[in-house]
Amino acid sequence: MTDAHPDEPHGSGLSQRLNWLRAGVLGANDGIVSVASLVVGVAGATTDNAALLIAGLAGLVGGAISMALGEYVSVSSQRDSEQALIHKEREELRTMPEEELDELTRLYRDRGLNEETARQVAVELTEHDALAAHLEVELGIDQDDLVNPWHAAISSAISFTIGALLPLLAILLPPPAVRVPITFLAVLVALALTGYVSAKVGGASPVRASLRLVIGGALALLATWLIGTLLGTTGVV
């Protein structure tokens, strides 16, 4: 018997690793788009570096905190639901073990096993770890691999900050005459990369995912730049 392919995702901790990676990619993407849109809009109205720095830092800090809180609340709710289901299943196994064994047999029979084999598998798994068997087959839950809200929150905050630093530096470092086009280019390249990574994580088409992000990001940047330019021209700011 050969070992599993080393690149395939096996073993405990997979759910948490994927959750951490998903939160990281989404956080970086949000940091790039939100802060880029903010600083490009301000750059359309003024060339003052202090104003750009203040706006960019405010967007970075506020966005990182917001992302972390959002991820924490969302993943905590998911974890609470999983723990409630685990508790419910544990109680059912304690109060009606025969009914649960019949249910497990039926579930394996529905997966294509004949009655005798399904019953044998259900009995052996129940003897080994009844709760784990029911959680896996009925609910798709691994009680040793629940999502961690702190991991998701920290990952989102860090990745948002890293993503936000790109447009902030791109708008501040170049000369005023070229800072907006350079920021556009840097942001669109970064969005293409995050789209590629997110597609690889989710098993989707990299080209389609990257194209969606690039088009969406370009529209967001263009809209905020036009608004900033209009307000700057009319003397509102």
pLDDT tens-digit map of 15-70: 556 666 666 778 888 999 999 999 999 999 988 999 999 999 999 999 999 989 98
**Cβ proximity of 187 and 170 under 8 Å:** yes
Q: What is the pLDDT of residues 128-151, one digit of tens each?
A: 887 888 777 777 777 766 778 888
Angle at 149 between CA 147 and CA 153, to 5 degrees: 130
- Spell out a b/e string for 154-180, using b for 16 or more CB atoms within 10 Å of the CB, else e: bbbbbbbbebbebbbebbeeeeeeebb
Domain boundaries in the chain?
14-84+150-233
Q: What is the pLDDT of residues 69-126, one digit of tens each?
A: 988 998 888 888 888 888 888 888 888 888 888 888 888 887 878 888 888 888 887 8
The sign of the CA dihedral 197, 203, 208, 209 is: negative
Give the Cα separation of 33 and 190 in Å (integer). Answer: 10
Average pLDDT over residues 170-190: 94
Structure tokens at 5: 């392919």
pTM of the predicted structure, to 2 decimals: 0.73
Q: What is the pLDDT of residue 5?
A: 44
